[in-house]
């Protein structure tokens, strides 16, 4: 049988290293493109069976039409979230598989790392001591012990984050659209979560319904000095409303691993450029905002799992009737989910 051919978009050195290791027997022919998959670059997928993509590749209607015309059979996401795929339009045109979990620990631990860095001013202290400035002025933090943390989304990552917070002696409350019965988690309404939390951390997927769930109105309901942590998807937070909330001293700090308009800047070196995004520039200029560029997933363990699971997904898709990691817009409706019947989504 001919080798399955993958066009690999948005390839970084760390991706290549882990996929080369995982494809050690060269079962797959993989061509690594630095560029993202967009309407402009989709022609690079000509002659391939699979496009392998990440969080900022744009699999919109036009891209899906082009891929189907080229007879590309599969979109293999190297991530869990799939808000960058027009999943409803893809149905019955092109199959989509993903990596549902690669290391929930990586993301939950990064969320806590951001929180500790922010509230104990580690980012400031690091720069000071590098310059032999040992002054403590302005570095006063606060204890996490006894504080209330509100967790939005109690899936794989959210639950690990909850365990970590409990280890710090924090009181945890949570909101989830589908609360986990019998989990021992104290679920509250979103409004109650906004009102009671000293710290709020987001671990839910981005959907049309929760886009900008942090906005002027919800910020108004939050405690003064609240710390927001977003390692989920940027558009959960209206970035301009966040800037305003910080300027008004309502939001005490923001820890952002994701940003609404990140696809234009994240993963690239713009250190010699003027950044055009004024909102991002304003956020980065604020002393109580920490931005990392979508790196929460970036651990050795996660990269190995991503490569192994992605290639297993591709192999399984071409060899079998059923792909356990396939997704479609009908999947949430478990009663009508083809996967429940051991079949592909269409």
User: Three-state SS for 296?
Assistant: coil
| Helix (H) and strand (E) counts in the chain | 11, 11
The strand pair at 28-32 and 289-291 is best described as: unpaired
Counting contacts by CB under 6 A, is residue 15 touching ligand NAD? Answer: no
**Catalytic annotation, residues:** 233, 262, 294
Q: Which is nearer to ligand NAD, 72 or 229 (CB)?
A: 229
* Cβ contact 49:27 at 8 Å: no
The span from the CA of 187 to the CA of 112, in Å, is 21
Strands (E), 87-188: 95-97, 148-152, 171-175
* Cβ contact 57:84 at 8 Å: yes
Counting contacts by CB under 6 A, is residue 18 touching ligand NAD? Answer: no
Shortest separation between residue 83's beta carbon and ligand NAD, angstroms: 7
For 75, phi then psi, to 5°, come to -100, 115
28 DSSP 8-state letter: E
Q: Which is nearer to ligand NAD, 22 or 210 (CB)?
A: 210
256 DSSP 8-state letter: E
The span from the CA of 333 to the CA of 273, in Å, is 46
Binding mask 49-88 for ligand NAD (x = CB under 6 A): -------------------------------xx-------
Shortest separation between residue 258's beta carbon and ligand NAD, angstroms: 6
* Cβ contact 70:94 at 8 Å: no
Q: Which residue in the set 53, 59, 152, 345 belongs to the binding site for ligand NAD (CB under 6 A)?
A: 152
Shortest separation between residue 85's beta carbon and ligand NAD, angstroms: 13
Of 68-76, 87-95, 131-139, 170-178: span binding ligand NAD (CB under 6 A): 170-178
Counting contacts by CB under 6 A, is residue 174 touching ligand NAD? Answer: no
Counting contacts by CB under 6 A, is residue 98 touching ligand NAD? Answer: no
At which residue do the structure tokens 């104290």 appear? 186
Residues 265-324 that bind ligand NAD (CB under 6 A): 294, 296-297
Binding mask 188-227 for ligand NAD (x = CB under 6 A): ---------------xxx-x-xx-----------------
The span from the CA of 105 to the CA of 127, in Å, is 28
Shortest separation between residue 128's beta carbon and ligand NAD, angstroms: 28
Residues found near ligand NAD in the complex (CB under 6 A): 80-81, 101, 104, 107, 152-158, 175-178, 203-205, 207, 209-210, 231-233, 257-258, 294, 296-297
């Amino acid at each position: 049988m001919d080798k399955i051919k993958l066009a690999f978009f948005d390839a970084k050195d760390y991706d290549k290293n882990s996929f080369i290791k995982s494809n050690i027997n060269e079962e797959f022919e993989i061509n690594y493109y630095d560029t993202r998959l967009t309407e402009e670059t989709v022609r690079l997928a000509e002659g391939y069976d699979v496009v392998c993509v990440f969080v900022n590749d744009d699999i919109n209607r036009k891209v899906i039409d082009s891929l189907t015309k080229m007879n590309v059979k599969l979109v293999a996401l190297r991530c869990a979230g799939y808000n960058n795929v027009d999943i409803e339009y893809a149905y019955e045109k092109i199959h989509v598989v993903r990596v549902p979990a690669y290391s929930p620990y990586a993301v939950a631990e990064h969320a806590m790392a951001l929180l500790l860095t922010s509230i104990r001013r580690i980012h400031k202290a690091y720069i000071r001591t590098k310059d032999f400035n040992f002054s403590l002025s302005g570095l006063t933090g606060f204890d996490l012990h006894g504080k209330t943390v509100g967790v939005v989304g109690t899936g794989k990552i959210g639950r690990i984050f909850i365990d970590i917070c409990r280890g710090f002696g924090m009181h945890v409350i949570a909101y989830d659209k589908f609360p986990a019965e019998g989990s021992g988690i104290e679920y509250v309404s979103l409004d109650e979560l906004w009102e009671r939390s000293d710290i709020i951390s987001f671990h839910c997927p981005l959907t049309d319904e929760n886009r900008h769930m942090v906005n002027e109105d919800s910020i108004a309901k939050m405690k003064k000095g609240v710390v927001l942590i977003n390692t989920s998807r940027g558009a959960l937070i209206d970035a301009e409303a966040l800037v305003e909330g910080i300027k008004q001293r309502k939001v005490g700090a923001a820890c952002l691993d994701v940003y609404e308009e990140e696809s234009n800047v994240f993963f690239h070196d713009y250190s010699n450029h003027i950044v055009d995004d004024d909102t991002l520039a304003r956020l980065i200029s604020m002393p109580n905002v920490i931005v990392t560029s979508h790196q929460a997933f970036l651990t050795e363990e996660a990269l190995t799992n991503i490569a192994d699971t992605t290639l297993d997904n591709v192999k399984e898709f071409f060899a079998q009737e059923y792909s356990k990691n396939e997704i479609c817009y009908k999947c949430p409706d478990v009663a009508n989910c083809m996967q429940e019947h051991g079949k592909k989504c269409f």
